Each structure stands twice: as C-alpha cells, then as structure tokens.
Amino acid sequence: KGIRSQGGMEYSITTSPSVYVQRGSTIYIPCQFTYYRGHLSRHGTLLAYWLKYHPLGFLCSPSVHRNCLPVATNDQNKEVEPSAKDHFYLLGDPKKGNCSLFIRDARIEDEGQYYLRIEEGSILKFSFLQVTGYTSPYVYVIESPQKVNIAVSIQDLRQSGSSEWQRRGEVDRVEAEEGNNVNLICTADGRPPPNLSWMKGNQEVGKPAPHLQLREIGPEDAGKYQCLANHQYGSLKTMVEVIVQYRPRMLVFNTSQTHRRGSILTQGCSKELVSDSELTAQEGDSLEVFCKADSNPPATTSWVKGDSPLQNPLDNQLRLTNLTVADEGVYVCKATNVLGDVQRTFQLFVTYAPKLSRSRQKNTTCSYHDKGFLCICTLHAKPPPQIEWEVDGERITEERGRRGNLTVQALGQKNEVTSTLNWTGSLDRAP
C-alpha cells in the first residue's frame, strides 16, 4: 500500500516507502501525485522524471542540466541513464497524476532511493524529496543465497616450534591427522547477507556462525558437514567431507576353528580374543585368526611367531592347518600405517590324546623278579594323561594305589607320565 505524503495541500504523493524485488525479477511500484494546477500553462506538457537520489550529490533539473539524467521519464527530448535504458519505465499520464514506476530484470546496482520530479514551463518545478517530507521509494534488490563455499584451515599442534594455521582454498573434502585443529570457514553471497550455520548429518553443530572449529580432531569428528546459508528469501547449502587419519589402535583377534575327529570335520564357533589371551586347540584341528585394527588409512598387518616372521599370511589372516605341538607358541600381529603401529599377542596351546612314548624302551613292558613282577607303562599327552591298570576286571590307579600285594605308582615329567604296577609275593598267588 502506498503512503500519501504532502508538504502542502497542492503537492502530495502516494507510493510505497520501500519495495523489495528479487534480482532478475520485475517490479511495479504504484504511484499517484497531486500538484498545483495553477502553475501549469494552458497548453503545456507536464514532464515527470524519476531520479536516483545520491546523498552526496546535487539536486538537478533534467530540463536544465544536461548531465542530470533520470532513470525514467516521459520527456521525449531527454536521455536517460545508460544503465536504465529499456530497464526503467514511467507508466501512465503525469498530467493526470500518474507516476508509477516499472523496473524490469532488476539488478544489484538498481538498489537505492528514487524520487519524483515534475516540471512544466518556467514556473512548475518540484521534487518530491524525503528530506522535505515526501515519500521517496527505496528499492531493495534481494538475492537468494548464492555461491556457498567452504574453505579450511588446519593447525598441526604436534609440529615442534610451529602452530601456524595452514589455509586451503575452496574444498569439498579435507583430510586431517588426529590431534589437529581444523577450522571450517563458510562464505556465501546473498542480499541481505544470509545467516550461516553448520550441520553434521541431521544435527546442528556449534553456534550459527561462518566458522566451525574442531579442536584436537579425532575419528569421532569424521563425517559430512553442511554449511547452510539462509534468509527469508531462500536457502542454499554445500557440503564438505572431513576425513580423520589416525594410527592403528584397538587391535583385536577373531578366531575360527575346525575340529577333525577321524574323517569328520566340525566347524566351531568364531570368537573374539583380546591381547595376551591364551588359545587352546586340539591336534589335527585347523585354526584361522583374523587380526583387525581400527585405523585410517587402513593398516597392513604382519605376523611373527617368537622371533621368526611368518611368510605370506593371507592379508590380515593367519591360517594354521592340521595343528601339531610344533605350532605352539606366542604369536604377534603388528598393524602399521604411515602414522604409526600397534601390536598385540596371543599364546597358542595344542592338546593331543595319549600316545606311546617316543622311546621304545619306555613303552609298556612287564618283567618277573624274585619277589614278584613289575609292569611299566609310559604315555605322553596334553594335558598329561592319567594311567589306569586293570587287574581281574578291576581298575587300579595311583589314587587307589594299593590292593593286597599290588602297588601302583606314577611319575610325571612335563606331559609324559610313567606308571608302574608292582606285585610282591609268591608268583603262585599272582593274578
């Protein structure tokens, strides 16, 4: 709606004090004015001029001053501002009080205050100026947010003697090492200047501001960040992906065992081991151990048993088939990337069923002596075996040690056990 203003009963103007137009759009500014018709000659033509107001400029008369160029007029003998040609239009008949202004394809440089001046002959010369109490429309050219860009500065606090910020230009992807300070800087064009805020995923982060600082960045700070530029006339956003590089950590073992019982294979359940764990498997089993490290960039892994590197493990997988006691020992997995390394260990034990002694001389033998006879049995196993003797259908062990003239004793050395069955007395009464 227009506002009617007047400095006296003869002169008044009704128009909008302020109007808003989107850049590139068209706007129509309605305008009506009154004037003292006694100042108008009988056959004269009332000339109307729309001029752009310059606070530090001078008020000019387009009909007198050659360099006083309006943006729109009905004066056929007057040139308009070159930038306003075919761009600003005066609509209607000024003699009837019509002064509506039409702007096509609004530009940023069109923003400003405009005032109406009317002239006819040598007497009627009048400017409707705000400073004299009349309404002068102010044209605001608005623009939805444009050119949203993100730059980044990185500060490496771990570099001795240097904590300067290293600034990079417009980016959509940034890599930083764990512990760095990262500053994301967002810029955007728009009229009025848009408000800037930050989001990670669907969550706002930080306070609305052009800058978002991530102090001593860690893996949890990695992700996609959006800068949102918005005002009441529109919004626009852009994204940057923050990638955090860090040394290997949180190394764990995942194991999977396959049990062999004769010709039958049984897949066991996989389980997770922490460092310095003990793992027990049975002779003949197969074992797969996966060494997993959390790192960025991904770590390469290597395996060592004791002091000997293991050749050609499958990536991070250690595969041991048909286990034997020789596979026992301490295994070390080392994960390495460009930023550092970490290593963890586990100890493997291999169990097996009782076997005859490796020495034939220690295998089961029985011999007579003058006071009876002596039987010796030597077996090894892991865990160490418990040897039983069966006499006349009755089982006799070291725990039950003695029955009549029979005595059972056992002697163990590591995983090998030797048990003796001794009979004393007359052989005629021996079992």
What span, in angstroms and rounded, lies between the C-alpha atoms of 232 and 218? 36
Pull the structure tokens for residue 400: 């039950």
Do 142 and 25 meet the contact criterion of CB atoms below 8 Å apart? no
Phi, psi at 369, each rounded to 5°: -140, 175
Nearest CA to 376 out of 351, 349, 407 is that of 407
Nearest CA to 6 out of 70, 69, 97, 88 is that of 97
Residue 366: per-residue pLDDT = 84
Residue 360: per-residue pLDDT = 67
Q: In terms of C-beta density within 10 A (0-12 exposed, 13-18 middle, 19 or more buried), how is residue 158 classed?
A: exposed
Residue 41: per-residue pLDDT = 79
What span, in angstroms and rounded, lies between the C-alpha atoms of 408 and 390? 11
Nearest CA to 255 out of 282, 284, 292 is that of 292
Pull the structure tokens for residue 173: 């992807």
Do 263 and 332 meet the contact criterion of CB atoms below 8 Å apart? no
Phi, psi at 105, each rounded to 5°: 50, 65
Residue 423: per-residue pLDDT = 80
The torsion defined by the Cα of 362, 367, 371 and 377, in degrees rounded to 10, comes to 30
CA 415 to chain centre: 55
Per-residue pLDDT of the chain (431 residues; tens, 9 = 90+): 345 454 455 899 999 999 999 999 999 999 999 998 888 877 788 999 999 998 776 678 887 788 889 999 999 999 999 999 999 999 999 999 999 999 999 999 999 999 999 999 888 899 999 988 999 999 999 999 999 999 999 998 776 545 566 666 678 899 999 999 999 999 999 999 999 999 998 899 999 999 999 999 999 999 999 999 999 999 999 999 999 999 998 778 888 887 766 555 555 556 777 777 888 999 999 999 988 889 999 999 899 998 899 876 676 789 999 999 999 999 999 999 999 999 999 999 999 999 887 776 667 788 887 778 888 889 989 989 888 888 877 887 776 656 667 888 888 888 889 888 888 866 555 56
Residue 1: per-residue pLDDT = 38
Instruction: Spell out a b/e string for 8-36, using b for 16 or more CB atoms within 10 Å of the CB, else e.
Output: eeebbbbbbeebbbebeeebebbbbbebe
Do 59 and 128 meet the contact criterion of CB atoms below 8 Å apart? no
**Which amino acid, one-letter code, is at 287?**
L
State the pTM of this model: 0.68
Phi, psi at 35, each rounded to 5°: -150, 165
Residue 9: per-residue pLDDT = 59
Residue 361: per-residue pLDDT = 66
- Report CA-CA distances (Å) from 248 to 182, 216, 301, 333: 21, 17, 10, 12
What span, in angstroms and rounded, lies between the C-alpha atoms of 208 and 195? 7
Residue 409: per-residue pLDDT = 86
Residue 94: per-residue pLDDT = 95
Nearest CA to 339 out of 293, 291, 294, 296 is that of 296
